[in-house]
Amino acid sequence: MKEHSGLLGKFFNKVGNIEVNVDLIEYEEDCIFYVYCPPLDLIGYGSSHTEARASWETVLEEYFRYTLNKNTLVKDLESRGWCVRKKNSQLKPPTLSWMLQHNEQLSEVYNNHNFQKVSLPISMPLQNAHA
């Protein structure tokens, strides 16, 4: 069974949302648990895995809220290596090799920490793509 972010379906707009799988890197350092999403460069943390995941979902929700309010979601995604095809509302996250070259935090985690990678479907609001 697919695991879904609690945000799935919260950001419907005129054209609906697009479900996209993103990778999450989960690791622990100095008794703090982290959930890091390299394609969006967003991180949550807590004293347990459950708290870290809840923190990450809050950060994701605020990221969407802020970028939608400022009308910068598409521009921000593209700056993070996403391929955004506005005409047919397609989204493609950056590849791992691209992110390892362009994202210092991912390189540090990948090279220096034990981690678990999980893929999670999230619902991406793209009302900006049709502006």
Residues 55-90 pLDDT 10s: 999 999 999 999 989 999 989 999 999 998 877 667
Upper half-sphere CA count for residue 14 (Cβ side, 13 Å):
5
- The structure tokens listed for 121 are 């479907």
- pLDDT of 11 reads 40
- The length of the chain is 131
Give the mean pLDDT of 43-59.
Answer: 97
Domain for residue 85, yes or no? yes
Confidence of residue 100 (pLDDT cuts 50, 70, 90): very high
Contact (Cβ atoms closer than 8 angstroms) between residue 56 and residue 43: yes
CATH number of the domain bearing residue 109 = 3.30.160.250
Residue range(s) defining the domain that contains residue 83 = 19-122
- pLDDT of 16 reads 64
Domain for residue 10, yes or no? no
- The structure tokens listed for 37 are 């999403």
- pLDDT of 5 reads 39
Domain for residue 14, yes or no? no
- Give the rounded percent of residues in the chain with a pLDDT score beyond 90: 63
Domain for residue 13, yes or no? no
DSSP conformation class of 128? G
Contacts of 9 (CB under 8 A, 6+ apart): 17, 123
Res. 33: pLDDT tops 90? yes
Residues 2-28 pLDDT 10s: 343 333 333 444 456 778 889 999 999
Domain count, the chain: 1
Contacts of 87 (CB under 8 A, 6+ apart): none
Q: How far is CA 118 from CA 19, 25, 37, 81, 111, in A?
A: 16, 7, 10, 20, 17
